[in-house]
Amino acid sequence: MAPMALALILGWCLAAASRAQQLPRPSLSLHPSQGVSLGDTVTLRCHLPRLAARVELYQGGRWRSVMDKKEDMAEFSLVSTEQEDAGTYRCKYRVLEPPWTSRLSDPVELVITDRMFPPPGISLHPEKPVRMGTNVTIHCWNNYNGITFLHKDGCSAPIQHQDPDGGGTATFTLFGVTPADAGSYRCFYRPKGFYPFLSSPLGNNVTLEMESASAPPGAEGTSYRNFVVAVVRGCAAALVFALGLYFILDARSLWIQRDVRSGAPQ
Ligand SMILES: *[C@@H]1O[C@H](CO)[C@@H](O)[C@H](O)[C@H]1NC(C)=O
Ligand SMILES: *[C@@H]1O[C@H](CO)[C@@H](O)[C@H](O)[C@H]1NC(C)=O
């Protein structure tokens, strides 16, 4: 009897699982998707591929709320966000006929900036304009041993991140920089020992400048110009000398011819 009951339950579970597969998954989006500070209002939108009877929101695997439902979208607003609102969210929906539940959407991360954390310090090496191919280092430090992110102005996503071990200083290297790397850089960090999706504000910027290739400034340019002038002068002197030599030889040959002619018997 027991094995049969087990088989029935198993069969039911498999059937339920395969039904969930049949419903297309919803997708979740965040508005605004970035730059949310503590106290801001954020809207989560669950986009529904078909009419649903009920839509549920989960935060980090825990049921969070049932959402207001519109035609093809369910909206959930977090008014005046708090620290514990930071995290990953997913949604799913139910339909009545037949009574199926979809799988969860892909997760979205709600990162909240908390100004309680001071912005990180930053430094750039070398500070002067660099040539193509130079390795440039950016150090960012904080007192919360946080995961540190390097942000470039104009890029929406952080370009590198690092978990500094112990010291709280992250070292980012831009290997063999090109003109595309020129610009302003800043850091922010996610402090350890707090809610994991809290972030510090962006810190001050450092600016990576490239030497312009067309007009190399400084001593090297001057010595190059001196070299060119010396070469031109040398060539001119050699030309004058060669011309002089040519005229002398030419004149000599004329004299010789005249001597030969005048000395010859007529
Ligand atoms: C840049 O770093 C790489 C890897 O450490 C090294 O092989 C290369 O020689 C460095 N380039 C310069 C110009 O220092
Ligand atoms: C970067 O910081 C400097 C001061 O350190 C400021 O003058 C400049 O406007 C900043 N650049 C950007 C793009 O914010």
What pLDDT is recorded for position 221? 46
Beta strand pairing call for 68-69 and 54-59? unpaired
Instruction: Report which ligand 2 atom has the smallest distance to the Cα of 205.
Output: 1
What pLDDT is recorded for position 218? 47
Instruction: Report which ligand 1 atom has the smallest distance to the Cα of 134.
Output: 13
Q: Residue with the nearest Cα to atom 4 of ligand 1?
A: 175
Distances in Å between the Cα of 147 and the Cα atoms of 109, 187, 197, 204 are 16, 10, 11, 17
Pocket test for ligand 2, best of 205, 206, 208 (most atoms within 8 A of CB): 205
pLDDT band at 69 (very low <50, low <70, confident <90, very high): confident
pLDDT at 176 over 80: yes
pLDDT band at 180 (very low <50, low <70, confident <90, very high): very high
Distances in Å between the Cα of 42 and the Cα atoms of 34, 118, 155, 198 are 10, 23, 22, 15
What pLDDT is recorded for position 220? 47
pLDDT band at 219 (very low <50, low <70, confident <90, very high): very low
Average pLDDT over residues 145-151: 91
What pLDDT is recorded for position 217? 47
The ligand minimizing its distance to the Cα of 134 is 1
Is 135 near ligand 1, meaning CB less than 6 Å away? yes
Nearest of 47, 30, 45 to residue 102 by alpha carbon: 47
What pLDDT is recorded for position 11? 56
Task: Tell me the C-alpha distance between 170 and 105, whole Å.
Answer: 34
Average pLDDT over residues 124-130: 93
pLDDT band at 22 (very low <50, low <70, confident <90, very high): confident
Give percent of the chain with pLDDT exceeding 90. Answer: 50
The ligand minimizing its distance to the Cα of 204 is 2
| Token reading at 226 | 């001196």
Phi first, then psi: what are they for 226, rounded to 5°?
Answer: -60, -40
Average pLDDT over residues 176-205: 92
Summary mean pLDDT of the chain: 81
How many angstroms does the Cα of residue 124 sit away from the middle of ligand 2?
14
What pLDDT is recorded for position 251? 63
What pLDDT is recorded for position 192? 85
Distances in Å between the Cα of 34 and the Cα atoms of 146, 191, 242 are 19, 18, 75
pLDDT at 211 over 80: yes
What pLDDT is recorded for position 29? 96
Residues contacting residue 162 through CB under 8 Å, at least 6 positions apart: 147, 148, 150, 170, 171, 172
| Token reading at 230 | 């010396």
How many other C-beta atoms are found inside a 10 Å radius of the C-beta of residue 181? 18
For ligand 2, residues with CB inside 6 Å are 153, 184, 204-205
Going across the sheet that includes 169-174, the strands are: 121-125, 136-141, 169-174
Task: Tell me the C-alpha distance between 227 and 62, whole Å.
Answer: 74
Q: What is the DSSP string of 114-165?
A: -TTSPPPEEEEES-S-B-TT--EEEEEE-TT--EEEEEETT-SS-SEEE---
Instruction: Report which ligand 2 atom has the smallest distance to the Cα of 184.
Output: 13
Average pLDDT over residues 94-122: 93
Distances in Å between the Cα of 223 and the Cα atoms of 155, 210, 227, 229 are 40, 21, 6, 10
Instruction: Report which ligand 2 atom has the smallest distance to the Cα of 207.
Output: 1
pLDDT at 178 over 90: yes
CB-based burial label for 4 (10 Å; 0-12, 13-18, 19+): exposed
Q: Are 181 and 131 in contact (CB under 8 A)?
A: no
Instruction: Report which ligand 1 atom has the smallest distance to the Cα of 133.
Output: 13
How many angstroms does the Cα of residue 205 sit away from the middle of ligand 2?
6
Is 257 near ligand 1, meaning CB less than 6 Å away? no
pTM for the whole thing? 0.66
The ligand minimizing its distance to the Cα of 131 is 1
Is 137 near ligand 1, meaning CB less than 6 Å away? no
Pocket test for ligand 1, best of 135, 137, 211 (most atoms within 8 A of CB): 135
Q: Residue with the nearest Cα to atom 8 of ligand 1?
A: 135
